[in-house]
Amino acid sequence: SQQGEEDPQALSIQEGENATMNCSYKTSINNLQWYRQNSGRGLVHLILIRSNEREKHSGRLRVTLDTSKKSSSLLITASRAADTASYFCATAGGNNRLAFGKGNQVVVIP
Amino acid sequence: EPEVTQTPSHQVTQMGQEVILRCVPISNHLYFYWYRQILGQKVEFLVSFYNNEISEKSEIFDDQFSVERPDGSNFTLKIRSTKLEDSAMYFCASSEAQTGELFFGEGSRLTVL
């Protein structure tokens, strides 16, 4: 089954630094999405990258997708304390389910 | 801005009791989902719903679970006889397209004692 799997490490960085998270998956996909979750809250969609795209930007976010390696990365530039959250990748295939990875906790220290 | 709303925000129940979690998806969305997240763990897919029927379900979604869209606006998840391991945060989501962006509610925390 399709499953996003982030690198499990937690990230702790200083405000202003960049944060990078990685995600790998196992099967073919239509698209890959990144979500953010603040503690105890719902997930919020950040960005979607299609399988025929290699890179996408949205504000301070940059996502890359390497379908040959079945991996994606999310870069948050110039991090802020408000970026402190868990970040999940999720893969969408031909079926009607989005499969989420374990999440990567990011702490931005002011 | 349209949003997905869920009720209750927190429910405490005894093992073996029935629970109904309610969701109001975004009005022009066609695809509806339930996910759950056990504390500190990954977000697990339960079921997707389209055109008034289940389109996908996971192995977690056994005979104890059911979903309904009773009135064209609400989307409910029923757990017939709750177990301790059903304790989790349950998230409802909706989307316009089958593999598009999901809009999540804030979740219903279920505690089974």
Question: Residue B74 — very low, low, confident or very high, per pLDDT cuts 50/70/90?
Answer: very high
Write out pLDDT tens, residues A51-85: 999 999 999 999 999 999 999 999 999 999 999 99
Write out pLDDT tens, residues B19-30: 999 999 999 999
More confident residue, B39 or B83: B83
Helix (H, G, I), strand (E, B) or coil at B111: strand
- B16 in the Ramachandran plot: left (φ > 0), alpha (ψ -120 to 50) or beta? left
Q: Is the per-residue pLDDT at B88 higher than 90?
A: yes
Task: Kindly state the DSSP code that residue B36 receives in the 8-state scheme.
Answer: E
Alpha-carbon gap: A15 to the closest alpha carbon of chain B (Å)? 25
Mean residue pLDDT of chain B comes to 94
Q: Which of B4, B56, B105 sits opposite A95 (nearest CB)?
A: B56
CB proximity A39 to B under 8 Å: no
Question: Residue B38 — very low, low, confident or very high, per pLDDT cuts 50/70/90?
Answer: very high
The answer to whether the Cβ–Cβ distance between A96 and B103 falls below 8 Å is no
